[in-house]
Structure formats: structure tokens, C-alpha cells
Structure 1
Amino acid sequence: MRVMGVDPGLTRCGLSIVDGGSGRKVTPVAVDVVRTPPEWELAQRLLVVADGAEAWLDKYRPEVVAVERVFSQHNVRTAMATAQAGGVIALAAARRGIPVAFHTPSQVKAAVTGNGTADKAQVTAMVTRILGLAVAPKPADAADALALAICHCWRAPMLDRMAKAEELAAQARRRYAERLAQQRKAVSR
């Protein structure tokens, strides 16, 4: 499975591509950061982020895009900018028919380090180790984008199994309700 990991942001937006194999094997393909100057107008910055993401979507053709979900931030302005950057990338993926998955920072940290409260240095160290990189990815936005892609590769099979189990349970509930209704109808005759 080819996954594009996105650490959304306006000043720095991390983009990565990894290929997930069997088990927990992941192979890095590409990583970079799209940068925009803070003094530019919001619309222009979003356009640069969207153009960068679209170029990656067209070049690397991921099967899924994993984006960091804005969970909570003390700075509302930063949270809004992060959400807007993630939104334009999700839109670009949706226009190409590519599914988008959102993962919270704690889910990503837990998947990669085993600790949902790990700091950036721990995430970067584990990403470097997991991918067998000779040099740690920099800046942190690049490492975070890789961590998102790794997280999705490792969580997607479990999420798929849970969704299938929930669907089977829903089907069983519907069949049970139908049988119960038929039995009640037969008793009332």
C-alpha cells in the first residue's frame, strides 16, 4: 500500500510517501516540506500548499492520504491554519478519488513510539530507525509526515478488520430483528 503522509501547516507542510509491505515493513519513497512565507495572503499560501500536494499526488500516485487531524491547540489561529492546509490537501485527494484518513497526533505518536505523549525528538528518532534512514529527516515536519504514513500503514489493517466486524455485527442485528418480528407476527395470529 502506498501512503502519502501529510503534516499540515501553512509555514511548513510536511509531505511524505511510504510503501507499506507485509507485516510492519515500510519503505520510504520521498519526503519534503512545502514552505510559504508568513507575510503572504492566506489564499496564496493555501494555493502553494495545494499545488505542492497535487504535484505529489500526481507524481507518486498514493492509494491513500493520511493527514494529521487537528485535535486541539491552544492557539486558535494556528489550529485554523493547520486545518485549512489539511483541508486543501484532503480536497485534492478527494478530487482524484483517493481516500483520506485522519489520525490524531497521539495516535501517530503511539503507533510510531509506543507512547502517545512522545516528544518530537522521540518521533524523529523512531521514524529514522523504522525506515532505516542514515540521517534523521529534517525539519520535524518532514519526520512527522513520515510518521503519519507509517502510522496509517500499521493502523489501516486493524481499522479495516474493525469496520468489517462492525458491518457483520450490524447484519446479524438486522437478521435477528427480522426473525424476532416474524416470530411476534406468527404468535399474534
Structure 2
Amino acid sequence: MRVLGVDPGLTRCGIGVVEGAAGRPLRMTAVGVVRTTADADIAERLVLIERGMDEWLDTYRPEVVAVERVFSQHNVSTVMGTAQASAVAMLCAARRGLPVALHTPSEVKAAVTGTGRAGKAQVGAMVTRLLRLDAPPRPADAADALALAICHIWRAPALNRLQQAHAAVANGPRPGGRPATAGRKPGGTPSANPGTPSGTPGSPKGRTP
């Protein structure tokens, strides 16, 4: 599986590509940052991020795009910019028909370091170790993007099993052993008494005993 991880941000949007599978060694394909200047118009900055994302998607052709789920109770202006950059990344992936997975920061930290409260230094150190790099990627946004890709590769099998289980429950039999479509006429209209003929049991239809 080849996953492109995105750590969204207006000034620095971290991007990293990782290949591998759960339980097997992982390999970093590429890592970098799409940068914009803080004094530029917001619309222009989003266009630059879009162009950068398109270049990465066209060059490395990932199977999945993993994006950090934006969540914060503080600094609303920063969160707005991060959310806008996140939306651009998802839009670029969707235009290519690529699935998009959202992972919270705590999920990523827990997957990579074993604790959802790990600091950036811990995440960078574990990314370096897991991908067998010579040094932690810089800036930290790049390391976070790789961590997102690693997180998705490791969580994908469990997520797939969960989705299959939900689908089985939704399409399985109802209580009493009847399938979800039992007792319905063509067109989806339930019959009055499924499986019971009209008239008095044991008597010819419409005849008075």
C-alpha cells in the first residue's frame, strides 16, 4: 500500500509518502513541505497548496490519502487556516477518485509512539526509527505527514474489518431469523400478513362455513 500523508497548514503543509503493509517493514518514498507566505492573500495561498498537492499526487500516485483531522478548542484563526488547507488536500484526492482517511492527532501519536500524548520530538524520533532514516525529517510538519501515513497503514486492516462487520450487520437477518427484506412486496411495501393466505385458515377462500 502506498499512502500519502498530509499534515495540513497554510504556511507549511507537510506531505510524506510511505509504502508498506501492517506487520511488514515500511519504506519512505518521499517527504517535503508545500510553503506559502503569510502576507499573501488567503485565496492565493490555497491555490499554491492545491498546485503543490496536485504535483505530489501526479508524481507518486498513492492509493490512499491520509489527512489529519482538524480539531482544537483554541486559536480559532489558526484552526480555520488548517481546516482550509485540509479541505484542499481532500478535494485534490477526491478529483482523482482516491479514498481519503482522516486520523486525529492522538490516533497518530498512539499508533506511532504508543501514547496519544507524545510530543513532536517523540513522533519525529519514532518516524526516524520506523522508516530507518538517518535523521528526523525537518521541519516537524514533514515528520507529522509521514506519521499520518504510517498510522493509516497500520490501522487500515482493523478499519476494513470494522467496516465489513458493520456491513454484515446492516445486511444480515432481523431478530427472529428473517432477512431484512422478508415480508415485503415488490417495490418495498410490507404485506399485511407475510406467509399467511387470505381467508379463514382451513376454509376455502371467501366461503362461509
2:194 is aligned with what amino acid?
A: K
Contact 2:22-2:153 at 8 Å conserved across structures: no
Instruction: Calculate the TM-score normalised by the size of structure 2.
Output: 0.84
Matching residue of 2:194: 185
Deviations 1:79-108 (A, max 9, x none): 110010011111011111111111111111
How far did 1:132 drift? 0.7
Q: Is the contact made by 1:10 and 1:46 (CA closer than 8 Å) also made in structure 2? A: yes
Question: Which stretches in structure 2 are left out of the alignment for 5+ residues?
Answer: 185-190, 199-209
Other-structure match for 1:39: 39
- Distance in 2 (CA, whole Å) between partners of 1:144 and 1:22 is 19
1:7 corresponds to which letter in structure 2?
A: D
Deviation digits for residues 18-64 of structure 1, max 9, x if unmatched? 10235242110000011111111101111111111100000000001
Matches within 5 A, 1:23-102: 23-102=23-102
- Matched letter for residue 83 of structure 2: A
How far apart are residue 179 of structure 1 and its match? 4.8
Q: How do 1:92-131 and structure 2 match up within 5 A?
A: 92-131=92-131
Q: Which runs of 5+ in 1 are unaligned?
A: none
For the residue of structure 2 that corresponds to 1:117, the secondary structure is: coil
Distance verdict in 2 for CA 1:11–1:163, change over 3 Å: same
**1:176 positional shift:** 3.7
**TM-score (norm: length of structure 1):** 0.93
Describe the SS at the equivalent of 1:185. coil
- Aligned in 2, Cα 1:188/1:80: closer, same or farther, shift over 3 Å? farther
Percent identity over the alignment? 60
Residue in structure 2 matched with residue 162 of structure 1 by the alignment: 162
Pair 1:9-2:9 in alignment: yes
RMSD after superposition: 1.9
Question: Which residue number in structure 1 is paired with residue 132 of structure 2?
Answer: 132
Preserved CA contact (<8 Å) 1:34 1:52: yes
Residue pair 1:128, 1:137 contacting (<8 A) in 2 also: yes
Q: Which stretch shows the higher mean deviation, 35-44 or 20-29?
A: 20-29
1:188 deviates by 8.6
Aligned residues: 189
Q: Give how far 1:177 is off.
A: 4.2
1:73 CA displacement? 4.0
Alignment-mate amino acid for residue 103 of structure 1: H
Contact 2:22 / 2:154 at 8 angstroms: preserved in 1? no
Q: Aligned-pair distance for 1:172? A: 1.2
Q: Which protein is bigger by CA-based radius of gyration?
A: 2
